[in-house]
Amino acid sequence: METDCLKLETLTRSVTETRALGRRIGNAITGGLVIALTGDLGSGKTAFVQGLAKGIGVPDADYVTSPTYSIIHEYSGRLALFHMDLYRINDSSEAEDIGIYDLIQPENLVAIEWPEMIASELPKDHLSLFFEIQSDTTRKISICAYGLQAKSVIRRLDISTKNGCAAQQK
Question: pTM of the predicted model, to two decimals?
Answer: 0.89
**Strands 33-39, 126-133: pairing kind:** parallel
Predicted confidence at residue 22, as pLDDT, reads 97
Distance CA 31, CA 149 (A): 8
Q: Which amino acid is at 127?
A: L
* Sequence-ordered alpha helix ranges (H) in the chain: 15-28, 45-55, 92-98, 100-103, 148-156
Predicted confidence at residue 16, as pLDDT, reads 97
Q: For the chain, what is the radius of gyration of the CA atoms?
A: 15
Predicted confidence at residue 3, as pLDDT, reads 60
**Residue 66 in 3-state DSSP?**
coil
Q: Which residues contact 94 (CB under 8 A, 6 or more apart)?
A: none
Mean pLDDT by 10 residues, the chain (170 residues): 79 97 95 95 95 96 89 94 91 84 91 90 94 96 95 79 41
Q: Which of 164, 165, 146 is nearest to 154 (CA)?
A: 146
Q: Are 79 and 96 in contact (CB under 8 A)?
A: no
Predicted confidence at residue 162, as pLDDT, reads 35
Predicted confidence at residue 158, as pLDDT, reads 62
Distance CA 131, CA 44 (A): 7
